[in-house]
Amino acid sequence: MKKMNHGSQIFASILVNAVYAMINYPIVLISTLLAPFAFLIVISFVSHGALLPIAIGGALIMTMISAGTSLQGDLSHLKNDFKLQDMIVSSPTSARMYLIGMAISEIVYALPALLVLAILAGLYINTSILGYASIMAVMSIMFIFSISLGFFLSTLTSDVIQSWAFTGIISTILSALPPVYYPISYIPQQFQFIAYISPATYAAQIVQNATGYVTFSNSTLLIDWIVIIAVAAAMTVIAVKKSKWRED
């Protein structure tokens, strides 16, 4: 049997889900560029620029989380409206290669926004190399978490309406609840526990600590790291084991 070119398999996902979408519809580029800046701009204006570093860190996290939300929507669309998943299942492509390719495609899709945010981070976030490394690590972990969640949910959907419902729930839990663009102290204390439902809150605390704007105790940071690594690992295992690639 002919050897599989895994590079080709990953490249196919990047082409379909990012490159061709951008080439065929350039408006996509503007949309993806603007998405993380809406909140960043509002928070910066409201705080008279004081929260800009935190908001930039938040936008970086949210860009990674949005990748999972987008992936869930994109894959559900391709699966339910075009029956692409069935075509791919009946081919030598494995669920793993499809997921890796689609995950990278979401990064490629988000590249314009990430590039601008990276420049802003370089300009406005004063931190050490370790601080930047922490931010990068948190971004990577949140990316793995959200991509796994998005892939898992997409394989369960049978209709795009169902997919929209999942998107709404994920967005609320991962984007609206957590204080990503501002410190958790801005939320009244009696409601702060709600924010801790979302793993994004733990990720935000690490990034906010790295920016130097808010200082958390070492024990809090340790818990934050444990939580985000644990949920990302658990979600990856669920995505690999429980996703409905071949239906039963």
Partner 1 sequence: MGYLKCIKITKEYEKASKALRSVSFKVPSEGIFALIGRNGAGKTTLVRILATQLLPTSGSANLAGMDVVKDAKDLRGMIACVPQEARAIGWLTPRQFILSYLLWRGMDYSEAKRKTEDATKMLGIDQHLDTANRLLSGGTKRKVLVASVIASGAKILFLDEPTTGLDPISRSDLWRILSKLKRTHFIFLTTHYLEEAERLADKIGILDEGKLLALGTLEELRATVKYPYIIKILSDRKMLKPREGTVVKGVDGYYQIATKEKDAYEISKELIKEGVKFSMNPLSLDDIFYYIAKKPIEAENYEKDESW
Residues that bind partner 1 (CB under 8 A): 1-6, 8-9, 11-13, 15-16, 20-21, 24-25, 78, 81-84, 86-94, 98, 246-248
Let me know the angle formed at the C-alpha of 238 by 237 and 240, rounded to the nearest 5 degrees: 65
In the complex, what is the shortest distance from the CB of residue 16 to partner 1, in angstroms, rounded to a whole number?
5
Among candidate residues 241, 239, 229, the one with its CA nearest the CA of residue 100: 239
Q: Which is nearer to partner 1, 91 or 126 (CB)?
A: 91
CB of 112 to partner 1, least distance (A): 18
For 216-241, what is the HEC assignment? CCHHHHHHHHHHHHHHHHHHHHHHHH
Q: Write down the least CB distance from residue 85 to partner 1, Å.
A: 8
Output 159 or 185, the one with its CB closest to partner 1. 159
Rounded CA separation 73/194 (Å): 26
For residue 148, which of 103, 187, 198 has the smallest C-alpha distance? 103
Q: What number of other Cβ atoms are within 10 A of residue 101's Cβ?
A: 22
* For partner 1, the closer CB: 191 or 248: 248
Residue with tokens 């991509």: 147
Of the two residues 93 and 127, which places its CB atom closer to partner 1 in the complex? 93
Instruction: Between 95 and 125, name the residue whose CB sits nearer to partner 1.
Output: 95
Q: Minimum distance from CB of 170 to partner 1 (Å)?
A: 24
Q: Considering beta carbons, is residue 98 or 145 the nearer one to partner 1?
A: 98
State the nearest-atom distance from the C-beta of 242 to partner 1, in Å: 15
Q: Give the nearest distance from C-beta 91 to partner 1 in angstroms.
A: 5
3-state secondary structure of 243: coil
CA 143 to chain centre: 4
Q: Are 232 and 72 in contact (CB under 8 A)?
A: no
